[in-house]
Structure 1
Amino acid sequence: MKNLVYIFILLFQFSFGQSTDESSQKVFEIANEMYKKGDYENAIQKYEFIEKSLKQESADLYFNLGNSYYKLNKVAPSIYYYEKALLLEPTNKAIKTNLAFAQKRTIDNIKVIDELGFTKFIKSITSIFSINTWTWLSVIFSVLTLLSFALFLYKEESNIKRFSFVSIFVALFLVIVSFLSANFLTNFKTRDKPAIIFEDTVEVKAEPKEDSDNAFTLHEGTKVYVKETLDNYKRIHLTDKTEGWVLSSAIKEVRD
């Protein structure tokens, strides 16, 4: 009887997942038609319904949300959603291009201090794929390692033995690379917390309190990085290594 209950639950979850996907696809298509007709506000409502009510996300969904807000000249949300899309598809040229256009509408011109060469190289290599993709690759290469090992043990032909012997080390090397890449991106995701300024003007404080001196001013659409949270304030830093405190309500973190 227990087994039947488990089967029913699994079937229900599977059918529910399918129906949700179908619903989100239909709403997505309706929203796309609204966008094509220039009805950007209603298109946004449909896209956000998919995100918030149906709990679906994709680079295409966030990209279209960014485009819709861009058409309405809303800088902060357009950049916010382009950044979310880029997290899912880091190498997508269309997202990068539109994000660059949106960033040109911001007021602040923050200098970017380049990272050390090795760190920059590691980031560029690991960002080719997402964490999930690297994880799956490590699983696939692990299976290939086991298959190669089995061939080496049970096949007598010298050519196959040589091939399987080399394959073991190649596949094992790729397992290590995939695993380390996934681990690096996971750690980077934990440390790196990008956020977008959503208020027109924000006075960044030297300390996390209202009567603290203003350190500098930021404007809508500027990208910052959250270092820590204390009460109603968040400590942020910029790409030029400048730091300060802002009210939590003034920014919106890109990663949920």
Structure 2
Amino acid sequence: MDYIDRRSMKKIWWIWLFMMGALSTLAAAEDLTQQAEKEYRQGKYLEAADTYKKMLTEGQESAQLYYNLGNCYYKLGENTQAILNYERALLLNPGDRDARYNLQMAQSQAVDKIEVLPEVFIVRWYKSLVAYFSADQWAYISIAFFILFLGMVALFFYSSTAALKKTGFTLGIVILFFTVFSVIFSVKQYRRITERDYAIVLTPSVTVKGAPDNSGTSLFVIHEGLKVKIIESLGEWVNIRLEDGNEGWVAKRDIERI
């Protein structure tokens, strides 16, 4: 009996330590958040940015944190860093209208104005739909649709009239269709977050090469703040594609992944 009591006390002790550690972590995070918000209100944008970056190093990544950090850099006149952090905020929360508006404001000050290749309406609509919600939000939507689908299955099997059975069958097929697509959209958004194949140019002026080497043919010049897609990597070089379809190689040090 004493052995059992000692084991129980040990479990309680470890649970208590875990709870105390979690509470202290939450308290520290809240203290840093309040500190950063106070520094921002006082116009100490550099100090606020440093506090937000400290929170990131401690693993407190969130769309709101990146948005706040972007605001700090925008106030400091560091437009490229503002763009980078607004993009990261939108990566985690595509529906953040404030982050999207501020990103557009920051991008309006960038040097390069790239003409986007026209897309078929259905493709453009599809991409907008996928990006409207985050991976977690699409996952919740798929769960909700699946629960509705189970309800329609129950309606089909347990209804006493043919009309209700037909309704359950028809709606069940439609809801299953939405469930499958919600799962697909969730996976696509999750891959966007994990793969992060877009980047922001950090160097004021970069000459894009035709080969992954300094001796490669110079193709064109791009400037800081420009968003590019990473196609492949080779050593210290990456092959990038612009929104107008142009491609080439730049050094890894010239860009930072979103």
Query: Structure 2 length normalisation: TM-score?
Result: 0.85
Structure 1 stretch displaced more, 204-213 or 109-118 = 109-118
In structure 2, relative to structure 1, the CA distance for the partners of 1:14 and 1:130 (3 Å cut) is farther
Deviation at 1:177, TM superposition (A): 2.7
Deviation at 1:230, TM superposition (A): 0.4
Structure 1 stretch displaced more, 83-92 or 1-10 = 1-10
> Which consecutive unaligned segments of at least 5 residues does structure 2 have?
1-5
- Structure 1 distance, partners of 2:147, 2:9, is 32
Deviation at 1:184, TM superposition (A): 4.1
Contact 2:92/2:193 (8 A) holds in 1: no
RMSD, aligned α-carbons: 3.0
- The letter of the residue matching 1:43 is A
Percent of pairs with identical residues:
32
Residue of structure 2 equivalent to 1:173: 177
In structure 2, relative to structure 1, the CA distance for the partners of 1:89 and 1:191 (3 Å cut) is closer
- Structure 2 distance, partners of 1:11, 1:130, is 35
- Structure 2 distance, partners of 1:2, 1:169, is 53
- Structure 1 distance, partners of 2:131, 2:235, is 33
- Structure 2 distance, partners of 1:180, 1:90, is 16
In structure 2, relative to structure 1, the CA distance for the partners of 1:191 and 1:26 (3 Å cut) is closer
Deviation at 1:21, TM superposition (A): 3.7
Structure 1 stretch displaced more, 72-81 or 164-173 = 164-173
- Structure 1 distance, partners of 2:229, 2:207, is 16
Post-superposition CA distance 1:165-192 (Å, at most 9, x none)? 4543343232123123224445666787
1:127 is paired with a residue whose SS is helix
Contact 2:141/2:182 (8 A) holds in 1: yes
Report whether the alignment pairs 1:78 with 2:82: yes
Post-superposition CA distance 1:39-74 (Å, at most 9, x none)? 011101110111112x11222111110110111111
Residue of structure 2 equivalent to 1:124: 128
Contact 2:91/2:192 (8 A) holds in 1: no
1:105 is paired with a residue whose SS is coil
In structure 2, relative to structure 1, the CA distance for the partners of 1:149 and 1:64 (3 Å cut) is same
Report whether the alignment pairs 1:51 with 2:56: yes
In structure 2, relative to structure 1, the CA distance for the partners of 1:21 and 1:169 (3 Å cut) is farther
Deviation at 1:8, TM superposition (A): 8.2
Residue of structure 1 equivalent to 2:3: none
Deviation at 1:160, TM superposition (A): 6.3
- Structure 2 distance, partners of 1:175, 1:156, is 27
Q: How does 1:113-152 map to 2 (within 5 A)?
A: 113-152=117-156
Query: Structure 1 length normalisation: TM-score?
Result: 0.85
- Structure 2 distance, partners of 1:189, 1:65, is 19
Residue of structure 2 equivalent to 1:241: 245
Report whether the alignment pairs 1:29 with 2:34: yes
Deviation at 1:141, TM superposition (A): 1.9
Rg (Cα) greater in structure: 2
Contact 1:192/1:225 (8 A) holds in 2: no
Report whether the alignment pairs 1:221 with 2:225: yes
In structure 2, relative to structure 1, the CA distance for the partners of 1:60 and 1:192 (3 Å cut) is closer
> Which consecutive unaligned segments of at least 5 residues does structure 1 have?
none
How many residue pairs get matched? 253
Q: How does 1:3-42 map to 2 (within 5 A)?
A: 16-17=21-22, 19-42=24-47
- Structure 2 distance, partners of 1:205, 1:3, is 66
Deviation at 1:193, TM superposition (A): 1.6
